[in-house]
Amino acid sequence: MDPYSFDDRYHTGDPNQDLNYEKQHYNAPANKNYIVPEEIKNFLLFFQRSVREGNVSDVATCYEHDFNKLSERFFKNSPWPDAENIIQIVGKDDVFLILYKELFYRHIIARTMSGPSQEQRFEAYCNYCNFFNMILSAEGPVGLQLPDQWLWDIIDEFIYQFQDFCKYRTKLVGKDDDEVAFLRSNPKIWNVHSVLNVLHSLVDKSNINAQLEMYGHGDDPDILGGDFGRHPLYKMLGYFSLIGLLRLHSLLGDYYQAIKVLEFIELDKQTSYTQVPTCQVTTYYYVGFAYLMMRRYKDAIRSFSSILLYIQRTNYMISTTGSYQIDVVKKMNDQIMNLLAICLVLHPMRIDEGLQTLLTEKYGEKTQRMEKGHPAAFEEAFAFACPRFLSPVPPNFDDPIFDAKESYALQLKVFMEEVEQQIMIPIIRSFLKLYTTMPISKLSTFLEMSENEFKMHLLCFKHKMNSLVWTKGTSGLDGQFQSGSEVDFYIDKEMVHIADTKVARRYGEFFIQQIHKFAELNKALKSKEPFTNEEFASGNRY
């Protein structure tokens, strides 16, 4: 038996009993036969020394590469040694032990077959509380320096574990009475208010909003940062907490507040705060999804297109970071493609030619089904691409058949109601493109509906194609109402007059791309050493 694997035969649901059992069964006194490999000892000692010395480069190497490689080699499907075991190696270094336990519990959730026990979920929460309390309760900035990628992963994993716990808590079927009783008696563990409080406290401590506002005006953000805001640890945790709030509010279905928390972040600009690729992908995914649910399709398309092009440009960088989120980014890329397809069906507009080609190749059939008005196609795409919505409150523990998918069902209902209102628009648009003038009676006959019903759909077309679009400013909630339809029309008595407002193809973009390719080719050719006469005559260069 693997000494670090979880055996649920001994899981009681009582954290004290489980903790005592694990200490007796897994830890040193009863586990003397287990010897920590020398390579793991050397890694832990070097990792600890790098953290103590504030050597961010070495910490990044240990975190992004060495930890993952050793996990794959020694602990592929089992936990790392727990904190009690590694104390024998690193001593009682509280800061390093907190950081190690963050990786320890994350590894259990990601790699072990059985997943975390109830107690391990609670212990992971307590460890996060210890980490954030250490940072927030200090009178001055703590002397801790971590790479930006790890700081982002801490915030992201904190929210993910909260999200996963909410899902675990709502699934009452299969839990024994002790487990349910413990959940019932500990409502403050992984409580939504606690999670929100941590994120807002980090934002306030770093004074990140004031810094971002100064940065947007071209001033030095450190002027308003204060001692804490000037420290890289607090500054980046504050920024990442804003992205965490965007994600959390989206999971709760509050899309207005999700965009509101980013009011000082200029999403259309690359800054020193946007150096973590996985953070960028997460930001644009949730911003785009919030815009989609707010019926701001043009803004959603802009967000999705931007991040898909960004992923294409930085694909190599993301794949070589060693971050545990590489697979997450790949899945999120597919989700964004699905959401972009939905938006383009509901709001057709021109996008990057490369993206359009890729979208047609991978999702052409699904897009055609949506354009033909099949509700099941919309529901299928939404189910795959939407976030895992959650309920912020505990379930009714007295109801064993509680619907754990209630939050998803509610958001799906809101989305499908909007789709049903627009289900005829793509079909009507396809007919309007064929004519310049047409009697209402004839068009209604083509669509097999009454004239009054057809007029109602025409008015719906006009209304739905007029939406709020961001034009300038830092707040993503700002904007102006614009008509986004490539086909415009007006009704004069019983006649529909159609005007094609489709923007002409931008040939300049094609020529610019070809110029860049030619320049790169020319540069590559110039880098080659010229042939000598002898080489040319003999063919030795080949």
Structure tokens that stand for 400 in this block: 């064993």
Q: pLDDT-based confidence at 44, cuts 50/70/90?
A: very high
Range name among 15-29, 208-222, 461-475 with the lowest pLDDT average: 15-29
pLDDT at site 32? 42
Q: Say if residue 225's pLDDT is above 80.
A: no
How far apart are the C-alpha atoms of 133 and 194, rounded to whole Å? 12
Of residues 35 and 101, the one with the higher pLDDT is 101
- Amino acid (1-letter code) at residue 103: L
How far apart are the C-alpha atoms of 532 and 340, rounded to whole Å? 54
pLDDT in tens, 73-127: 888 888 888 888 888 888 888 999 999 999 999 999 888 877 888 889 999 999 9
DSSP state of 10: G
How far apart are the C-alpha atoms of 54 and 78, rounded to whole Å? 30
- Residue written as tokens 């009011």? 263
Of residues 470 and 198, the one with the higher pLDDT is 198
The Cβ of residue 250 has, within 10 Å, a number of other Cβ atoms equal to 23
- Amino acid (1-letter code) at residue 371: E
Cα-Cα-Cα-Cα torsion 197, 272, 145, 190, nearest 10 degrees, comes to 20
How far apart are the C-alpha atoms of 194 and 222, rounded to whole Å? 29
Q: Say if residue 22's pLDDT is above 60.
A: no
Of residues 81 and 504, the one with the higher pLDDT is 81
Percentage of residues of the chain with pLDDT beyond 70: 83
Percentage of residues of the chain with pLDDT beyond 90: 32
Of residues 464 and 53, the one with the higher pLDDT is 53
The Cβ of residue 392 has, within 10 Å, a number of other Cβ atoms equal to 16
Q: Positive or negative, the Cα torsion across 350, 356, 357, 359?
A: negative
Task: Report yes or no: 315 and 265 within 8 Å, Cβ to Cβ.
Answer: no
pLDDT in tens, 369-416: 888 888 899 999 999 999 999 888 888 777 766 666 888 999 999 999
pLDDT at site 24? 40
Question: What's the whole-number mean pLDDT along residues 20-46?
Answer: 62
Question: What's the whole-number mean pLDDT along residues 305-330?
Answer: 74
pLDDT at site 34? 57
pLDDT at site 396? 78
Q: pLDDT-based confidence at 318, cuts 50/70/90?
A: low
How far apart are the C-alpha atoms of 168 and 174, rounded to whole Å? 11
pLDDT at site 154? 94
Counting every residue written for the chain, the total comes to: 542
pLDDT at site 469? 77
pLDDT in tens, 408-452: 999 999 999 988 888 777 777 777 778 788 888 888 888 788 878
How far apart are the C-alpha atoms of 118 and 14, rounded to whole Å? 9
Structure tokens that stand for 402 in this block: 């509680």
Phi, psi of 466 (to 5 degrees): -105, 110
CA-based R_g, the chain, Å: 28
pTM, rounded to two decimals: 0.79
pLDDT at site 468? 73
How far apart are the C-alpha atoms of 267 and 282, rounded to whole Å? 12
The Cβ of residue 308 has, within 10 Å, a number of other Cβ atoms equal to 23
